[in-house]
Copies of this chain bind each other. A is one copy, B any other.
Amino acid sequence: MTVFQRNEGAVQSTVPYLSVAGLRDLVGTVGLPTMLCALADRMSTAFTHWDAYAKSPRVTHETASGFVELMPVADAQTFAFKYVNCHPGNTALGVPTVAGFGAMMDLETGRPIFLSEMTVLTAMRTAATSLMAARALARQDARTLAIIGNGAQCEFQALAFQHGLGIDALRLYDIDPAATAKVQRNLAWTGLDITACTSAAEAAEGADIVTTCTADLRNARVLTDAMVVPGMHLNALGGDCAGKTELDPAILHRAEIFVEFPPQTRVEGEIQQLAPDHPVTELCDVLRGAHQGRGSAEDITLFDSVGFAVEDLIALSYCRDMAMETGLCGDLDLLVSPNDCRDLFGVLAS
């Protein structure tokens, strides 16, 4: 990588870049469980400094077939954004529903310092966020995890909870048995005791933690009130945009609800089904010790997770560090060299 000196260090003249293949190699080198746990650790630290992040509204553009959005965020040193789309009809075209990429910029100079694929990375950061929340909210003796919805997110959740929380039994359910079979194949090597179930109720039975990560774009009731018993931790990921929820509202009235960022979760999360003043606790308050989290072994805790830009910044920052350390970064020729800052025309001539 070409570098040039400036007063206090080196400024890159290329942008470090993590491709899909680069992330695959990074995971192969570091190990996915290790990365998910390290990400959850960084995330926990970030949430204890929650007020240090400048949180901007997303920029969303909707069309008939889906939506695209930019998610910007900043801390004192860095500005970052993620581009991501959601096009449910893509599956019928043989195109993934979601594609994402993101970038980080150095705020002192405004220079881009990292560009990365964020389709797989978003799945990793979502699982790490779930792990961070479950460490704070699930019962210490939780060993059995149910996952309802066995799509793109499922394996990441299972590995994060196995290695970061000590889960040893996994109960799976999906309306499409082929999705469940895919997860069984993908996780056969893990040592997890995996049970394929024929209903959501069967999957939830005996589970200490229930993760819902279904894709249906409507107000569904994937989990009904009768499936939820005292002591459970519910990790609800699939309710993540307006008009899309997974939980029976009756559950929300029995559970203590924890959220990432109330202004966003009130619009996008499960709690869009509740009155706008229904009490919720910010996860950051639990992580910085201002709220106890789970009150007793009988409580039902719910992490109503919608995904927030701070988590993307942490994921980008972690991957940048790891990619630089392992040398798995490419270099993008996106920056003009500073031979003469006023001579852009000269760039074309050289």
Whether B107 and A155, one on each chain, are in contact in the complex, defined by CB atoms closer than 8 angstroms, is: no
- CB-CB under 8 A from A108, the residues of chain B are 63, 65, 87
What is the CB-to-nearest-CB distance from A113 to chain B, in angstroms, rounded to a whole number?
A: 11
Instruction: Name A90's contact: one of B19, B107, B109, B151 (CB within 8 Å).
Output: B109
- CB-CB under 8 A from A110, the residues of chain B are 66-68, 85-87, 90, 98-99
CA distance A341 to B123 in the complex (A): 13
- CB-CB under 8 A from A161, the residues of chain B are none
Q: Is A278 an interface residue (CB 8 A)?
A: no
CA distance A156 to B99 in the complex (A): 36
- Among A296-350, those with CB < 8 Å from B are 332-336, 338, 340-350
Q: Is A253 an interface residue (CB 8 A)?
A: no
Whether B156 and A345, one on each chain, are in contact in the complex, defined by CB atoms closer than 8 angstroms, is: yes
A32 touching B348 in the complex, CB below 8 Å, given contacts A96-B341, A179-B342, A341-B152: yes
Whether A350 and B24, one on each chain, are in contact in the complex, defined by CB atoms closer than 8 angstroms, is: yes
Instruction: Name A61's contact: one of B54, B66, B334 (CB within 8 Å).
Output: B54
Whether B59 and A70, one on each chain, are in contact in the complex, defined by CB atoms closer than 8 angstroms, is: yes
- CB-CB under 8 A from A153, the residues of chain B are 344
Query: Copies of this chain, how many?
Result: 2
Would you give the 0/1 interface string for A25-41, flagging 1 where the beta carbon is closer than 8 Å to chain B?
A: 00110001000000000
- CB-CB under 8 A from A81, the residues of chain B are 59, 70, 83
A342 touching B152 in the complex, CB below 8 Å, given contacts A27-B348, A336-B119: yes
Would you give the 0/1 interface string for A152-185, flagging 1 where the beta carbon is closer than 8 Å to chain B?
A: 1111100000000000000000000001001000
A348 touching B99 in the complex, CB below 8 Å, given contacts A74-B61, A341-B90: no
Interface locus among A4-12, A228-236, A239-247, A279-287: A4-12
Other contacts beyond A70-B72, A70-B81, A96-B335: 7, CB < 8 A: A20-B347, A28-B348, A81-B83, A87-B110, A119-B344, A120-B348, A332-B332
Interface residues of A (CB under 8 A from B): 4-7, 11, 17, 19-24, 27-28, 32, 54, 56, 59, 61, 63, 65-68, 70, 72, 74, 79, 81, 83, 85-87, 90-91, 93-99, 101, 103, 105, 107-112, 117, 119-120, 123, 150-156, 179, 182, 186, 332-336, 338, 340-350
Residue pairs across A and B with Cβ atoms less than 8 A apart, 20 shown, are A6-B94, A11-B93, A11-B95, A17-B332, A20-B335, A23-B348, A59-B70, A66-B110, A68-B107, A70-B72, A83-B112, A94-B338, A96-B336, A96-B338, A101-B103, A120-B347, A152-B341, A152-B342, A154-B345, A332-B332
